[in-house]
Chains A and B, each alone.
Chain A
C-alpha cells in the first residue's frame, strides 16, 4: 500500500491566483526564446563523413568511372537493388559497365556495396533526399549516380581510416 502525502499548501497557494500568475509569467518568457524547430527543406540536416546516405559511383580525376563491372556489389546487395551489365573498353582496365542501375526504392542504405567493391568505385554519399513523382524516376542510372571523386573524398578517407584497423601493413592500397 502506498500512502500519498499531498503537500500542505500555504494560504497564498490555496488562492490559486498568485500561482497561476507565476505559471503565466513562465510561459510568457518562453514566448521570446529561441525556436528549436529545424525548418527542414531550407535548413537541411547536418551531415558528415559518417553519414551513410545513398550509394554513388566514383568518377576518377581522368573522367572515367572507377567501376570495372565485376559484380561484387550486385551480389553483396541484400536488397537486390543493383543491376549491372558489363561491357568492354579500350582502357587498361578492359571492362566497364554499360548499364549500372540502383533502384533507390529497394536500397536500404546498408553500405554493403561500398564494403564489397574491390576498386573503390562505389561509396556512400551524404545525399539523403529521395523524392520524385514516379517509381521509374527513382531507379537511378549511371548518369544519375556519378559523382566526382572530390565530392566523396571525405567518405573515402573515413572508410580507409576505419579499415586500417584491420589492414596488415603488407596489404596493398
Chain B
C-alpha cells in the first residue's frame, strides 16, 4: 500500500471512530439525562431495556423510525423536511477539529493529533459552522406554520445572537493568551502543571463561557426555544418521528461539541496534569473524563434550576455578560500587550 493510501485509511478510521463516538455519546446522553433526572427525584429511571436500561437509546431509536412522520397542513414541505438535517449536521461537523489526543504510536501516518482534521483556524471553523445550526431551528419553526413553533424559533434566534457574542468574546480572551486560533496551540499552551490551565488564568472567561454554552445549546435554564409550559414544545412542536429525533440528536451533539471545546480551551484539553508526555491512551482518557464532567454539568443544572424569564435572559445577556466579557477581553489584551504575565 502506498503511503498516500495508508493516510487515507488512517483518516477514514479516525473519522469513523470519532463520529461513532460522538453519536454514541449523544445517544448515551439521552439515557444519562433520564437516569440523572430520575436519581435526583428518588426514582430509578429507565431500567427495563437491557441490563440497567443500557439499551434504552436503541429502543428509542427504533421507535422513532417506526413512528409516522406527520407534516402539518400549510407547512412548507420542502423546508420542513430540510430543517432537522440543517439543525443536526453543523453540530456533527464541528467535532472534526477538536484534538482529542496525540498521535497513536502503533498507527503511523502523516498526522500529529487524534482529530479528524488538523486545521490552523480550528476555532474559526468551529464557531462559524456551529453558528449555522440555528438556521435549522428557525427554518423548521417557520416552515411548520404554527405560532408556537414560530415563537420558539424567534426566541432561539434572539438568544443565539445575544449569547454567541459573549461566547466568542470569552473565547477571544483565551485566544489572546495563546495568540492563535488553532485549538492545538491552545492545548499545547496548557501542558504541564495544572495551573497552566486557562481556567486559572481566565476565570471570568471560564464562567462566561460556561454560562453562554448553556444558552448556545438551548439547554436549561435557557431553553427558550422549547419552553414547554409556554410554547407547547417550541420550534419542534409540529415535528414527529425521526425528524424530531434529528433535532434532539443535533442538540445532544452540540452539547458534546461544546463540552469538548470547553475542555480544550479551559481544562487543558487532552493534557494529563503534571505529566507532559503521557502515553496516548491516558491523554484520550483525560480528554474524555474532562468532557464528561461538563456533560454531567449540563444534566445537573437542567434538573436543578428553573427556567429564566425571556426578558431576564435578554437583560442578563446584554447588560451583564456582554460588558463583563468585553472588559475581560480588554484587560487581557492590555496585559498581554504590555507583557504582564497574568499567572
Contacts and interface: CB of A to CB of B under 8 A. Distances in A.
A32 B44 CA distance: 11
Given A30-B39, A31-B36, A31-B39, A24 B301 contact: yes
A133 interface: no
A34 B42 contact: yes
A27 B42 contact: no
B303 interface: yes
Interface in A18-49: 20, 23-24, 26-28, 30-37, 39
B42 A37 contact: yes
A32 B305 CA distance: 19
A4 interface: no
A26 to B, nearest CB: 8
A33 B41 CA distance: 9
Interface of chain A, main secondary structure:
helix
Contacts, number: 36
A28 to B, nearest CB: 7
A27 B44 contact: no
A33 B300 contact: no
A34 B44 CA distance: 10
B105 to A, nearest CB: 39
A136 interface: no
Contacts of B36: 31
Contact of B305 (A20, A35, A37): A20
Given A17-B207, A20-B305, A27-B300, A37 B39 contact: no
A120 to B, nearest CB: 43
B337 to A, nearest CB: 30
Give the most central of A17, A23, A24, A27: most B CB within 10 Å.
Answer: A27
Nearest to A41: B48
Contacts of A26: 304
Contact of A37 (B43, B303, B304): B43
B294 to A, nearest CB: 14
Contacts of A23: 304-305
Contact of A27 (B43, B47, B207, B303): B303
A33 B42 contact: yes
Interface bracket on A: 10 to 19
A35 B44 CA distance: 7
Interface residues of B, number: 14
Interface string B26-41: 0000000000100111
B127 to A, nearest CB: 25
Nearest to A29: B40
Nearest to A33: B42
Contact of A24 (B44, B207, B300): B300
A24 B210 CA distance: 15
Contacts of A35: 39, 42-44
Contact of B304 (A27, A33, A34, A39): A27
Contacts of B301: 20, 24
A39 B42 CA distance: 13
Contacts of A37: 42-44
Interface in B271-324: 300-301, 303-305
A30 B44 contact: no
Contacts of B43: 35-37
Nearest to A38: B44
B42 A30 contact: yes
Contacts of A36: 42-43
A150 to B, nearest CB: 36
B300 A28 contact: yes
A24 B40 contact: no
A28 B301 CA distance: 10
Interface of A: 17, 20, 23-24, 26-28, 30-37, 39
25 contacts: A17-B207, A20-B301, A23-B304, A23-B305, A26-B304, A27-B40, A27-B300, A27-B303, A27-B304, A28-B300, A30-B39, A30-B40, A30-B41, A31-B39, A31-B40, A33-B42, A34-B42, A35-B39, A35-B44, A36-B42, A36-B43, A37-B43, A37-B44, A39-B44, A39-B47
Interface of B: 36, 39-44, 47, 207, 300-301, 303-305
Top-9 shortest CB links A-B: A27-B304, A31-B39, A36-B42, A27-B40, A23-B304, A37-B43, A30-B40, A37-B44, A24-B304
